[in-house]
């Protein structure tokens, strides 16, 4: 089974701090995604990546950046955390177009970030 691991389940940070959320997948998936989950809003796509060193903006990229230096790792960065970034962050991955399981996301357990 595909495993997507998010390094931190719970984080508490202060306004203005730089925050790194790490995500690693172990099935050689080409595509990786970062979503933000808020009550009543469902999941909203922040950034995604179809390949190493590639990144594309999702629907709500403001205040975030990402890094994909290796195929298995996709990091979400909050350059200067703000209270409105308090949320649950979910990482997901999927195989590339034409591969088995393409378009079927496998999610990590989530990282709940609180910004004070």
Partner 1 sequence: AQSVTQLDSQVPVFEEAPVELRCNYSSSVSVYLFWYVQYPNQGLQLLLKYLSGSTLVKGINGFEAEFNKSQTSFHLRKPSVHISDTAEYFCAVCPGNTGKLIFGQGTTLQVKP
The site for partner 1 (CB under 8 A) is made up of 4, 31, 33, 35, 40-45, 48, 50, 58, 90, 92, 94, 96-97, 102-110
Strand 65-70 relative to strand 73-78, pairing: antiparallel
- The distance of closest approach from Cβ of residue 96 to partner 1 in the complex, given in angstroms and rounded to an integer, is 8
Nearer to partner 1, 55 or 108 (CB): 108
In the chain the first and final C-alpha atoms are separated, in Å, by 37
- The distance of closest approach from Cβ of residue 8 to partner 1 in the complex, given in angstroms and rounded to an integer, is 14
- The distance of closest approach from Cβ of residue 81 to partner 1 in the complex, given in angstroms and rounded to an integer, is 22
Strand 65-70 relative to strand 10-13, pairing: unpaired
Nearer to partner 1, 103 or 114 (CB): 103
Q: Which residues contact 30 (CB under 8 A, 6 or more apart)?
A: 50, 51, 71, 94, 95, 96, 99
**Rounded-to-integer distance, Cα 64 and Cα 73, Å:** 17
Nearer to partner 1, 14 or 54 (CB): 54
């Amino acid at each position: 089974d595909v495993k997507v691991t998010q390094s931190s389940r719970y984080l508490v940070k202060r306004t203005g701090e730089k925050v790194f959320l790490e995500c690693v997948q172990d099935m050689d998936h080409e595509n990786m995604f970062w979503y933000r989950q808020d009550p009543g809003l469902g999941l909203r796509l922040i950034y995604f990546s179809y390949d190493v060193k590639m990144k594309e903006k999702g629907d709500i990229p403001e205040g975030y950046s990402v890094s994909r230096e290796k195929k298995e790792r996709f990091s979400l960065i909050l350059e200067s955390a703000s209270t409105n970034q308090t949320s649950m962050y979910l990482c997901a991955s999927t195989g590339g177009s034409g591969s088995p399981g393409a378009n079927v996301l496998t999610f990590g357990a989530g990282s709940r970030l609180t910004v004070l």
